[in-house]
Amino acid sequence: MTEKKTAPLLQALKAYYETEFSLKEYEQVVARQPYGNREFGFLLPNNVFIRNRSFQSKELLLEYFRINAPLSAYAGAVYDQPLSPSLRIQDAEWVGHELVFDLDINEYDLVRVCGCKGREYCQQCWGLIQEAAEIMDETLKEDFGYEKRIWVFTGGRGLHCWIRDEKAFYYTPRQRDAVVSYMQMIHDPKGQQRVDPIPNAPKLLVTRIYSKTLISFLTQTEEKVIEKATGLSKQRVKRLVKEAKEFQEGEIGKPLGTWLKKSEEEQILKTAILYRYPRIDHKVSIDIRRVVRMPGTVHSSTGLISKIVESPTKFYPDDAVSVWEAIS
């Protein structure tokens, strides 16, 4: 951030939640019952994390924000009755939770070649998040038929995708697991990075892996990195890059991927997946009691305001507004 921080964070949060904050963006990501029997969680200014809170109306929730100016705010599932310190989520009947996907830039640490680590990002590696969002959005739309896919910049190191379609709101953990598992190709992304065998992947995904992941791997990775990662010769890599660029520019001489030799195909696709395919945080999507950061609220470790993004493939975190900018 380049802008001047004119007030300490806690003071800025107080000013923001008193005068600028609204629940408009939050209401745009939830499928039903934004208030009432929904759970909320907060990281308070004294660093105490609390959850099991419900608010009977929008006004009461806004008032809570004005009084407490939390460091972070999260929304969870809907239950059969309002939550409170004396009626916790384990004592209530679960009703529903939006299906949410999480993409974080630090999941790419083992394959980032720009030098960024952890929460850091730059134009180059954020491109991985943009590309992952494109593939996921297409998969969620075309393979699952979800119509209401709302992408949100978390204010931190990545994006969330909220599925607002009613049917997904009632999914069991097992159903959520099936959706994530369908898309997931990389297991243990921070360790072994196991990649599922490509022939086992659903056909629609395989087509996407060729047309998007393989092409972007070959056209956007330095040739030296491709050589090292695939074990192919300099000459062979040059040839493949040329074919991929021609495909990208629409000069399709040969059908996509037929220029790969059978003997090298598996290794190249596996490497392309490792470098460019979405790395989804599986546990976020399957946990039906999880509380998720609310768009419109401040991410206190960056000071950026979490926001809905119209086009996740074009969004860069510098486009977000900080709490200091919001109150100035």
Q: How many residues bind Zn ion (CB under 5 A)?
A: 4
* CB neighbourhood size of 67 (10 A): 11
Residues 237-266 contacting Zn ion, CB under 5 A: none
Whether the CB-CB separation of 45 and 71 falls below 8 Å is answered with yes
* CB neighbourhood size of 143 (10 A): 16
Got the DSSP string for 74-130?
EEEEEESS--BTTB-GGGS-EEE--EEEEEEGGGGGGG--SS--TT---HHHHHHHH
Judged by beta carbon, residue 62 or residue 114, the one nearer Zn ion is 114
Name the E strands within the chain. 38-43, 49-53, 72-79, 94-96, 99-104, 149-153, 158-163, 186-187, 194-195, 292-293, 298-299, 304-305, 307-309
Judged by beta carbon, residue 114 or residue 288, the one nearer Zn ion is 114
Judged by beta carbon, residue 87 or residue 114, the one nearer Zn ion is 114
The residue type found at 318 is: D
- Taking CB under 5 A as the binding criterion, the range among 3-11, 76-84, 115-123, 197-205 that sits at the site for Zn ion is 115-123
Judged by beta carbon, residue 11 or residue 124, the one nearer Zn ion is 124
Judged by beta carbon, residue 112 or residue 293, the one nearer Zn ion is 112
- Taking CB under 5 A as the binding criterion, the range among 116-124, 169-177, 211-219, 239-247 that sits at the site for Zn ion is 116-124
Binding test (CB under 5 A) with Zn ion, winner from 114, 195, 241, 260: 114
Rounded distance, CA 318 to CA 314, Å?
Answer: 11
The Cβ-side half-sphere exposure at 142, using a 13 Å CA radius, reads 13
CB of residue 44 to Zn ion, shortest distance in Å: 33
Judged by beta carbon, residue 40 or residue 126, the one nearer Zn ion is 126
Show the binding pattern over residues 286-305: x = contacts Zn ion (CB under 5 A), - = does not.
--------------------
Q: Quick check: 110 binds Zn ion (CB under 5 A)?
A: no
CB of residue 130 to Zn ion, shortest distance in Å: 13
Rounded distance, CA 169 to CA 94, Å?
Answer: 11
- Taking CB under 5 A as the binding criterion, the range among 124-132, 134-142, 206-214, 246-254 that sits at the site for Zn ion is 124-132
Q: Quick check: 225 binds Zn ion (CB under 5 A)?
A: no
List interacting residues with Zn ion (CB under 5 A).
114, 116, 122, 125
